[in-house]
Amino acid sequence: MSDIFQKIENWAIDRNLIDGATRQAQMLKLTEEVGELAGAIAKGRQNDVLDAIGDCVVVLTILAAQSGVAITECIALAYDQIKDRKGRMIDGVFVKDAG
């Protein structure tokens, strides 16, 4: 596991966020952080965008640990699914090819 992800997990363990909290509570926290990210993007506040992205990663790291996996495992799985994906941009959004 990457050093920063391990530091996040250790921080969460020290605060009993992995065993003492629920995935539902962590999901609610993620939704809050994504809302802050959306607001920062909408307002063009770059420093707040960076902070909110980091907060989302922290929450996802904790959520992964609560689910019994490392965040790096989740990222590797997602990358493996997209690495050969083909598609095109439509109105600034990547749309994957069917099939």
Specify the pLDDT at position 1: 53
Amino acid in position 95 = V
- Amino acid (1-letter code) at residue 12: A
pTM above 0.75, yes or no: yes
Reading the block at residue 13, the tokens are 């363990």
* pLDDT at residue 76, rounded to an integer: 97
The secondary structure of residue 68, as a DSSP letter, is T
Read off the CATH number of the domain in which 43 is found.
1.10.287.1080
The pLDDT, as a whole number, for residue 98 is: 83
Ranges under pLDDT 50 in the chain: none
Q: Take residue 80 and report the two structure tokens written for it.
A: 């493996």
Q: Which residues contact 64 (CB under 8 A, 6 or more apart)?
A: 70, 71, 73, 74
Question: Total domain count for the chain?
Answer: 1
For the chain, how many residues are written? 99
